[in-house]
């Protein structure tokens, strides 16, 4: 039994405007019983890190379809980790080639979800991982 809802922050770093995935995931996780904060788009890693702390997020979900993920995801995670010791779960989505996944994992991304991922796969992953981290 979970005493408290899992808090998920979803944000789009950088200039990419493709927000269908981020919004659908936000809705899906909310329907799966999580507390979801959708921060919006065109955000700097600094703004997202700040919000992650303020919102006391258990999970940070980053979405980027413009190809800037290798710059933006690691930078966001680094900034969050500088601000808190909390064991936050980081997930990423977008157009992310296989060759980049290992580099993102090294930088602290726990899992990436590409186009075509069923929503229950994402919520199950979060419950399994963040549930145990809480």
Whole-angstrom distance, CA of residue 18 vs CA of residue 115: 12
Taking contact as CB under 8 A, which single stretch among the options 1-9, 53-61, 69-77, 103-111 is the one that binds another protein? 69-77
Q: What are the φ and ψ backbone dihedral angles of 85, each rounded to 5 degrees?
A: -95, -5
If binding is defined by CB under 8 A, does position 53 make contact with another protein? no
> Which residues fall within 8 angstroms of residue 115, CB to CB, at 6 or more apart?
21, 95
If binding is defined by CB under 8 A, does position 93 make contact with another protein? no
Angle of the 119-133 helix axis to the 20-31 helix axis, nearest 10: 60
The single residue among 5, 42, 124, 133 that binds another protein, judged by CB under 8 A, is 42
* Closer CB to another protein, 108 or 114, in the complex: 114
If binding is defined by CB under 8 A, does position 108 make contact with another protein? no
Place of tokens 């800037």: 68
* Closer CB to another protein, 112 or 130, in the complex: 112
Whole-angstrom distance, CA of residue 75 vs CA of residue 129: 22
Tokens, residue 18: 């493709």
The single residue among 3, 98, 102, 132 that binds another protein, judged by CB under 8 A, is 98
Sequence length of the chain is 134
If binding is defined by CB under 8 A, does position 106 make contact with another protein? no
* Binding residues for another protein (CB under 8 A): 14-20, 23-24, 26-28, 38, 40-42, 44, 65-72, 75, 95, 97-99, 114-116, 118-120
């Amino acid at each position: 039994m979970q005493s408290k809802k899992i808090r998920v922050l979803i944000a789009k770093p950088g200039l990419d405007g493709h927000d269908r995935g981020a919004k659908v995931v936000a809705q899906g996780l909310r329907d799966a019983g999580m507390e979801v904060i959708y921060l919006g788009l065109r955000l700097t890693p600094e703004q997202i890190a700040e919000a992650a702390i303020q919102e006391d997020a258990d999970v940070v979900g980053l979405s980027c379809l413009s190809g800037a993920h290798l710059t933006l995801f690691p930078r966001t995670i680094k900034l969050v980790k500088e601000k808190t010791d909390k064991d936050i779960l980081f997930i990423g989505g977008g157009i992310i080639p296989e060759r980049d996944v290992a580099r993102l994992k090294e930088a602290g991304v726990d899992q990436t979800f590409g186009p075509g991922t069923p929503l229950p796969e994402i919520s199950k992953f979060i419950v399994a991982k963040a549930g145990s981290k809480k």
